[in-house]
Chain A
Amino acid sequence: MVHWSPADLDALLCQLRDEGFRVIGPSVRDGAIVYTDIDALPVGVGDDQEAGRYRLRERGDKTRFGYNLGPSSFKQYLFPSREELFAYADGDIVPAPLDDEKLAFVGVRACELAAIQVLDRVFQGDGFKDRRYQARRQNLLIVAVDCSQSAPTCFCASSDDGPGVGEGADLVLTELLDDGEPSYYVRAGSERGAELLAASEADAASPELQGRARAVVDETREGLERLLPREGLRDALLGALDHPHWQELAERCLACGNCTQVCPTCFCSTAVEETDPVSLRVSHVRQWDSCFTAGHSYVHGGPVHAGIASRYRQWLTHKLASWEDQFGRSGCTGCGRCISWCPVGIDLTAEAEALRRTP
């Protein structure tokens, strides 16, 4: 456990790059925090979020992690929104080369780490293994950060996925603030992380600092404004498949699919074939899909989920209920993205509550 200054944090980014990592982390782009290749962390950026609303603002301090989640998640680097699986050329199948670049994710929040672990169960769990996911995951280094504030849309504590970072990160930081100046309480979560710490020349952290870091997480937890109680939720939702509320929801939901695109655990994909008109090389591409489209459930004769009510029901009951049967936990880690990015401000925590009530 060590105490880092912002300069030590910058040094970590350099070190990771020197070790051949592609460093992915938060950056401000188009008025939002997005995850992309970074050289430095944004400074003094905060956000305002509510159902259907997301804005950045200046915090007036030097924090590196003073905002919550933006629209992009780390999912896109483990499970890209578009990737070739194989090609067909000269009469044969040519597997796309495995992408085994060394990735380092910096600034991974607790709910994001939990979401990566959810994807692990989907792509490299008990059943078939996705070799492309495995190749990327195996080289992944995770530098996580506890949340020192929550957005009004966050509800990670409802599933114990945050706001403090759980197991599975290589390094975990807590951002501490003294008169607008940040410093970091840092601990290792893996051998790899311990090596990185040993290489840094920072001071050991005092027990007092550890206490402060814990208090930061506790305060964030207490400040959470939303809740999605999980007790009995699976049974309640699967028992409410004919609830009139689905129809009421259908009158508001646009079936735009935004919620599925921002969700860090939604994993639906479709396959498209692209033929180069000159070489006739065919590329078989996997790309993100959404259960809000008619094509998603299409079988000869028409889509199974014909109306918006049944599409929203498909999404919510999968995410919050049957996910537990399939993967041993809920598909929702409480990041709140689908609430902020729904153009009409639909809030799954409120909808789940409404569905629990007998009509």
Chain B
Amino acid sequence: MSDCLLPTMCTITGRKQDTADVFTLSIDPPDGEFPFEPGQFNMLYIPGVGESAISISGRPAEANKLVHTIRAVGDVTRLLGIRETRERIGVRGPFGTGWPISQAAGKNVVIVAGGIGLAPLRPVIYAIADRRDDYGDVSLLYGARTPADVLYREELLEWKRAGVLDLAVTVDAARSDWSGDVGVVTNLVGRIHSDPAATVAMLCGPEIMMRSTARALLDIGVEEANIAVSMERNMKCATAFCGHCQLGPYFVCKDGPVFFYPDVAPYWQQREF
């Protein structure tokens, strides 16, 4: 019988520094295979330090490789950042709900990401790219702090060139050599010209960014029930035992992290809820 609270030690097979504070690890998955749904996450463990919830950022079709993109912000994530290839870390998962990819089939897709929020959405893009004909217009609106913080730069450009998606990137601040947009990602919603009534949107980033973007999407006519968001709360166990991620009627680890707008919007109106 497997124990949902026990990590498995797994070997890091690859490491890439994406930006100054973000890196991507490839890991040999437990049992050799690791099927997951885009949007799901794992608990990554550094013995003696602790566990962190980290979304899976790899290609769903490549189940023999587990990929995570991580921003070094604190104890566990910094130490994950200095782990080298062939070292081992603990893995426990996958946990949580996935993005509404099947609901998006036959429709237009708008993906809106802020910062590290692009990581949990990358598997969606892989899945769409693998069956591009199943979807209508696909756009990615992406906001980063500075041009140097743009994640997966080569891959994004490649997807754009190949016609997988329309790409719009904006940054909070840039020097004069940046010819792209400056400002919040919400501003890019005006660029969407596909039929909003036949659009599924997927949002991941800081709560305030998701809130304003969702409002902008509703304003142009995207339906509430077609807006999915990924919520972040403190998590210790990912199995709905520890109580930390409780949000109204939900446990974010089990009923989320991916929710639909009508499920969580009432709680966004409440300060500190």
Q: Which residues of A contact B215 (CB under 8 A)?
A: none
Q: What is the total of A-B residue contacts with beta carbons within 8 Å?
A: 114
Q: How far is the CB of B15 from chain A (nearest CB, A)?
A: 20
For chain A, the count of residues having a C-beta within 8 Å of the partner chain is: 48
User: Which of these binds chain B: A22-30, A100-108, A161-169, A294-302?
Assistant: A294-302
**Are A310 and B271 in touch, CB under 8 angstroms?**
yes
Please state if B48 and A275 are interface contacts (CB–CB under 8 Å).
yes
* Chain A residues within 8 Å of B3, by CB: 95, 131
Segment at the interface with A among B142-150, B162-170, B222-230, B238-246:
B238-246
CB within 8 A of A273: which of B48, B73, B248, B273? B48
B233-270, CB < 8 A from A: 233-234, 236-237, 239-244, 246, 248-251, 254, 267, 270
B50 touches A273 (CB 8 A): yes
Check A318/B246 contact, CB under 8 A, given A127-B240, A270-B236, A313-B273: yes
A76 at the interface (CB under 8 A from B): no
The smallest C-beta distance from A282 to any residue of chain B, in angstroms, reads: 5
Inter-chain contact B88/A314, CB cutoff 8 Å: no
Cα-based distance from A282 to B49 in the complex (angstroms): 9
| Contact, CB under 8 Å: A299 / B233 | yes
Which listed residue (B73, B239, B251) contacts A326, Cβ 8 A? B251
Partner of B237, one of A238, A271, A306, A313: A271
Task: Report the minimum CB–CB distance from B97 to chain A (whole Å).
Answer: 13
Note all chain B residues with C-beta closer than 8 A to A130. Answer: 5, 239, 241
| Known A238-B248, A306-B272; contact A93-B90, beta-carbon cutoff 8 A | yes
Which among A86, A127, A273, A296 is the interface contact of B234 at CB below 8 angstroms? A296
Distance from A75 Cβ to chain B, minimum over Cβ atoms (Å) = 13
- In this assembly, does B20 line the interface, its C-beta being within 8 Å of a C-beta of chain A? no
Q: Is the CB of B244 within 8 A of A297?
A: yes
A269, B73: Cβ atoms closer than 8 Å: no
A304 near B272 with CB under 8 A, answer yes
Interface check A322, CB cutoff 8 A: yes
* CB of A241 within 8 Å of the partner chain: yes
Q: How far is the CA of A129 from the CA of B3 in the complex (A)?
A: 8
Cβ of B241 and Cβ of A122 under 8 Å apart? yes
Give 1 or 0 for each of B147-179: 1 = CB within 8 Å of chain A CB: 000000000000000000000000000000000
B242 near A270 (CB under 8 angstroms)?
A: yes
What residues of A have a CB within 8 angstroms of the CB of B6 in the complex?
85-86, 93, 95
Residue of A271, A307, A314, A322 with most partner-chain B CB within 10 A: A271
Measured in the bound complex, the distance between the Cα atoms of B239 and A192 in whole Å is 33
Distance (whole angstroms) from the CB of B270 to the closest CB of chain A: 5
Could you pull out 10 A-B pairs where Cβ atoms are within 8 angstroms?
A92-B9, A130-B241, A131-B1, A241-B273, A268-B244, A282-B47, A282-B48, A291-B246, A297-B233, A306-B272
A residues whose Cβ falls under 8 Å from a Cβ of B: 85-86, 88, 91-93, 95, 122-123, 127-131, 238, 241-242, 266-271, 273, 275, 282, 286, 289, 291, 295-300, 304-307, 309-310, 313-314, 317-318, 322, 325-326
Closest 5 CB pairs of A and B: A325-B249, A268-B243, A310-B272, A88-B47, A128-B239
